[in-house]
Chain A
Amino acid sequence: MANSRRISMIILAVVIILFAVSWILKTMTLQAAGTDGLLSIRDAFFITFAAFLTLAIFSFLYKDNPYYKFAEHLFVGVSAAYWMSVGFWSTFVGNFIPKVSTSLSDFFEVPPKEFEIHYFVPLILGIMLLMRLSTKVGWLSRWSLAFIVGTTAGLNLIRYLRTDFITQVSNTFVPLLVDWKGIGPFFSDFSLNASGQVVMTLANWMIFVGVFSGLIYFFFSKEHKGFFGYASRVGIWVLMITFGASFGYTVMGRVSLLVGRLTFLFKDWLGLVN
């Protein structure tokens, strides 16, 4: 126990020393590049601190540790505070104040607008939502929540029905022979261009077969035998290929984030690349 505590203290000391050295070196680099004295000290601190936080998060790849926890908690806290303060300035000060009070608009330096009494409705609902913090009148927050759930459900129902169902169904009605002018022109104009006739026809066939077999796979009222069974197996293949493509995209996304952080470390912190 005492040994692990000693090791932790040694690691902490090393981290502090490395941080200080990095800060000093970065300040000197910035000053050499022409940044003003105090500004260079400030910028160097932020770059070093950002590098420390990046490495702290990366350290989780080895195992869970206090530096990772510190960075994680700091991120959560800063994010929550950021969203709250931006919400206050953009919505409360930006939208509410100009519509209800000229003197408050002057105080917050936003142009006042014509008085609109109905803007007090969201204010009251917002206050009721905060009542959740009280054990006695916490039930009041349910009214606001009910309003939010009701309006969101109502809005989404109509839009999803039209855009994600009706329009999507109509999007699958694609011509299975694109720009067909007969066999002669098909062979004389043959090209494997991505937006050409052959590729587009194949793409439309893939949409047709994919949707058809995918729907059959999820149709459970008939036993998957014979033609139905074959189509259902094609449906499984379509689903598997889709999941594979999604996985590939996820790998690409995660690698991009890693590249972003490594670029910061190599470029902004260590100055190894331009």
Chain B
Amino acid sequence: MSNIGLILSIAVIVGGLLWLTIRSLSGREVERRIIFLFIGIAVSIPLLFDITFSEKATPIVKGIYDKIENLPSGSRILISFDYGPSMAPEVEPMSNAFVRHSLAKDHKVVIMGLWATGQSLGASAVENVIKSEFPDKVDGVDYINIGYKAGNQGVLNVIITDFRKMYATDVNGVDLDSVEIFKGIRSLKDMDLMISVGGGFPGIKEWVLFAADPGNIPLAGGSAAVSTPLLYPYYPKQLIGLLGGIKGAAEYESEMKKNYPRFADMPTPGIKMMGPQTLAHMVVMAFIIIGNLSFFFAKRKKSDG
């Protein structure tokens, strides 16, 4: 089925692009809606026929995987959900993979958010990943969602010295002093690893500026593709690793599937999204080539005529 889909999609796209090339070389304008239609087809067909490609973790992704893998069981990992629903299709696979991997290694997971929307998306990770895949893990003992607080980087500036000055309770109103997981945690400096997943403000950059660097705490990131190029300069000294866009998520998922038999059937939205991504990128590249060809062709025609 997947092969039929691949052949069908390539046939439709190549046929369409040929028609487009002939049309543009003959000097006729191509309406922008036709370009939208092509992108729509390039994305839809791989989704419908479940076309996927194999992924291999690059060192920048492997850095995070190895860090979680090599921490001793019971280590404290803080995952900050710094994104909203508009960014979720791209970064949610990352946060889910981090939660899944951390709990599989029996680490203690603290969920929080610098975005108000991060609170409910963190709760969604608790429902969809923790409660369904790790039913033996106990809220307040193995994981906790402390939610969102207003203040952007100001929040980090406070919790780097004392969590309780900013967070009195978790999202369910339970006193932080009474929960098992928070015993021995005073500030961010008591975390063994911090992971920020997001792509806007406040996000990974603020975590580097206001927590990782001043506190000398290991920080990893999962970033929306748009902001990824701006975060590369922090790797490897200020960020131990970075998942850049859906490609990073797919690489992380493939690494987990490779090393954990229990995750062989886990949902892999990152890997599934790479099929449409690949075809859409090929179409965009073809458009750039066709656009340039027709530009030079028209220029030459003008100078000849």
Residues of A within 8 A of B (CB): 61-62, 79, 82-83, 86-87, 90-91, 94-95, 98-99, 109-111, 113, 151-152, 155-156, 159-160, 162-164, 167-168, 171, 194-195, 242, 245-246, 248-253, 255-263, 266, 272-273
Contacts and interface: CB of A to CB of B under 8 A. Distances in A.
B99 interface: no
Interface of B: 33, 36, 39-40, 43-44, 47-48, 50, 58-59, 84, 86-90, 116-117, 119, 147-151, 153-154, 157, 166-169, 173, 175, 199, 208-210, 213-214, 224-226, 228-229, 233, 237-238, 244-247, 269, 272-273, 276-277, 280-281, 284
A255 B283 CA distance: 12
Nearest 6 pairs of A and B residues by beta carbon = A260-B89, A253-B225, A86-B116, A256-B90, A249-B225, A111-B175
A249 B238 contact: no
29 contacts: A61-B36, A83-B116, A90-B147, A90-B149, A90-B150, A94-B149, A94-B167, A95-B166, A110-B169, A152-B154, A159-B209, A162-B213, A195-B59, A245-B229, A249-B225, A251-B280, A252-B225, A252-B246, A252-B247, A253-B225, A253-B226, A257-B87, A257-B89, A259-B43, A259-B47, A259-B246, A260-B273, A273-B48, A273-B50
Given A86-B116, A258-B43, A155 B228 contact: no
Given A86-B116, A257-B89, A94 B169 contact: yes
A155 B206 CA distance: 11
A256 B273 contact: yes
Contact of B273 (A160, A194, A259): A259
A164 B209 CA distance: 8
Q: Which interface residue of B44, B116, B147 has the most chain A CB atoms within 10 A?
A: B116
Contacts of A152: 153-154
Contacts of A261: 89
B47 A262 contact: yes
A264 to B, nearest CB: 9
Contacts of B47: 259, 262-263, 266, 273
A253 B284 CA distance: 13
Contact of B58 (A94, A194, A253, A272): A194
Q: Tell me if B's interface is mostly helix, strand, loop or mixed.
A: helix
A245 B244 CA distance: 12
Given A171-B233, A195-B59, A263-B47, A155 B154 contact: yes
A82 B117 contact: yes
Contact of A159 (B39, B86, B214): B214
Contacts of A164: 209
A61 B38 CA distance: 13
Nearest to B276: A259
Contacts of B281: 248, 251-252, 255
A242 B229 contact: yes
B213 to A, nearest CB: 5
Contacts of B225: 249-250, 252-253, 256
B293 to A, nearest CB: 19
B168 A111 contact: yes
A163 B209 contact: yes
Nearest to A61: B36
A255 B154 CA distance: 33
A68 B171 CA distance: 35
A91 B229 contact: no
A272 B280 CA distance: 21
B277 A159 contact: no
Contacts of A273: 47-48, 50
Nearest to A243: B229
B41 to A, nearest CB: 11
B89 A256 contact: yes
B282 to A, nearest CB: 11
Contacts of A168: 233
